[in-house]
Structure 1
Amino acid sequence: MNIESVPFRVPSRLMVAGGMGLMIAGMLALAAPFISGVAASGLVAILVVSAGCTMAAFSFKDKFWGAGLAKLILGVLTIVIGVAMFMMPVVNLMALTALAIAYFIADGCISIYVTIDEYRHKYGSWGWSLFSSIVTLALAGILMYQFPASSFYAIGTLFGVRLVMGGISTVIAGVAGDQIVDSAEEVIQEELDKIEKDEVEVQPKAA
């Protein structure tokens, strides 16, 4: 007696295929960081425009005309900013790079504070946390030192790395899912074989 596990393997194999696609897209982004950076900044601009359209649409449902008018003005302003970001990709890249630098500085400083707290209370892998914090601050320093030239590669590189890491995680999850199906299939097959063996042993006695 055999079991059919193909339907259970399809999602896992789709995850593996999707993860490999993400990795390929990430490598292409890393190969052309400026182009991928412009694409990423364009995506951000589209999201900003979408947010503005949503705000403007919901402003008409407000019960009070004053609040509704304020939301409408804010929505229109958000749309204008999003369109400007889309029409000026280089300026958008510079702004996103500046935000990335600020984020890395904040992340590094907060991580150092957490590391000191971990070292003080003797818990956690504070050594790795300290190393990660130093690397983050060093990255912020490099981007800041090379700014605005770093705008032409920073966002695209970060976008590519994120795609590659996301692809690796997805492939690992898909492979793990396939292995779980293998293990479950072996256990179920063993149980089915036992049942079939018991049935064969019972039949002669019944005869």
Structure 2
Amino acid sequence: MTATAGSPSPEGRGLRRSLGWLAALGVVLVLGGLLGLIYVGVATLTSMLLFGWLLLVGGLVGLLQAVQMRGSSFFWLGVVVAALNLAAGVVVIRHPTGTAAALTMFAALLFLTGGVFRLVGSVVVRGPQFGLTLVQGAFGILLGVLVLAEWPSSSLYVIGTFFSLALLFDGLGLLAMGLGGRRIVSLVEEPERDRLRPPPASPAPPKAAEEEQDQSHN
């Protein structure tokens, strides 16, 4: 089916609708990220509960896959991995605060070790990105020290802050993708609508020329 002149094609309408839903999802994620930054403690507990349920679902799916592969050499490995995921999911759901504290400690140690490696590597190598790597290493060390200095109370807001920032930036990316995609579709469809538009009608002959033609016939 071809689109009439001046109206978007069915494919264009479907693409616009999909990009609109994408932009709407981006708005929801942005709002969730902003709310998470306001209520950081709630965001931390929510992220831990989501993490625990994801582990549980992953463990159940892995267990079903292991049962389907029974008789193969990977059966017991799949059972062990699924059992570990299930056990970790139960622990995270039952003790979200303790899990957040452990993950905060792990994140702080990662910041420290990553910052030290970047700092030492930038000083030893002195490559073209020396200044940027030096700043990244110093920032990682500073962030790790700040998190460890307030631990375990920092676990109430560190994970929630990271989770909310991830939602915020993902939402902004989806929003920009949806709005920019709709704009691109409009720019692509505009020449197509101009091509399908009917040509203008030829102008009618002047009245004086018609009178001269009538006189010549007479």
Q: TM-score, normalised by structure 1?
A: 0.78
Q: Which residue of 2 aligns with 1:62?
A: 70
Alpha-carbon distance in 2 for matches of 1:127, 1:100: 24
Give the secondary structure class of the aligned counterpart of 1:142: helix
C-alpha contact 2:30 2:171 (8 A) present in aligned 1: yes
Q: Which residue of 2 aligns with 1:140?
A: 144
Deviation digits for residues 109-154 of structure 1 (CA, Å, limit 9, x no counterpart): 455577569852x3xx654444344333322221111111110100
Q: Which residue of 1 aligns with 2:86?
A: 79
Moved more, 26-35 or 75-84: 75-84
Give the secondary structure class of the aligned counterpart of 1:30: helix
Moved more, 130-139 or 18-27: 130-139
Matched to 1:155, the amino acid is: I
C-alpha contact 2:6 2:194 (8 A) present in aligned 1: no
C-alpha contact 1:16 1:174 (8 A) present in aligned 2: yes
Number of positions where the alignment pairs a residue of Structure 1 with one of Structure 2: 195
Name the larger-Rg structure: 2
Q: Which residue of 1 aligns with 2:29?
A: 22
For residues 104-143 of structure 1, what are the structure 2 equivalents within 5 Å? Answer: 104-109=111-116, 111-112=118-119, 120=127, 122=128, 127-143=131-147
CA 1:51 to 1:9, structure 2 compared with 1: closer, same or farther past 3 Å? Answer: closer
Matched to 1:188, the amino acid is: E
Q: Which has the higher helix share?
A: 1
Q: Which residue of 1 aligns with 2:46?
A: 39
Alpha-carbon distance in 2 for matches of 1:17, 1:74: 37
CA 1:173 to 1:81, structure 2 compared with 1: closer, same or farther past 3 Å? Answer: same
Give the secondary structure class of the aligned counterpart of 1:29: helix
For residues 4-23 of structure 1, what are the structure 2 equivalents within 5 Å? Answer: 4=8, 5-23=12-30
Q: TM-score, normalised by structure 2?
A: 0.75
Q: How much is the aligned-residue C-alpha RMSD, in angstroms?
A: 2.9
Matched to 2:46, the amino acid is: A
C-alpha contact 1:17 1:171 (8 A) present in aligned 2: yes
CA 1:116 to 1:176, structure 2 compared with 1: closer, same or farther past 3 Å? Answer: farther
CA 1:180 to 1:73, structure 2 compared with 1: closer, same or farther past 3 Å? Answer: closer
Structure 2 gaps of 5+ residues are 203-218
- Identity within the alignment, %: 21
Q: Which residue of 2 aligns with 1:185?
A: 189
Give the secondary structure class of the aligned counterpart of 1:147: coil
Matched to 1:43, the amino acid is: L
Q: Which residue of 2 aligns with 1:161?
A: 165
Alpha-carbon distance in 2 for matches of 1:77, 1:128: 40
TM superposition shift of 1:162: 0.8
C-alpha contact 1:41 1:96 (8 A) present in aligned 2: no
Alpha-carbon distance in 2 for matches of 1:33, 1:70: 38
Task: Select the residue among 46, 49, 60 that pairs with 2:56.
Answer: 49
Matched to 2:86, the amino acid is: I
Task: Select the residue among 3, 20, 24 that pairs with 2:7.
Answer: 3
Q: Which residue of 2 aligns with 1:205?
A: none
Alpha-carbon distance in 1 for matches of 2:124, 2:190: 47
C-alpha contact 1:9 1:181 (8 A) present in aligned 2: yes
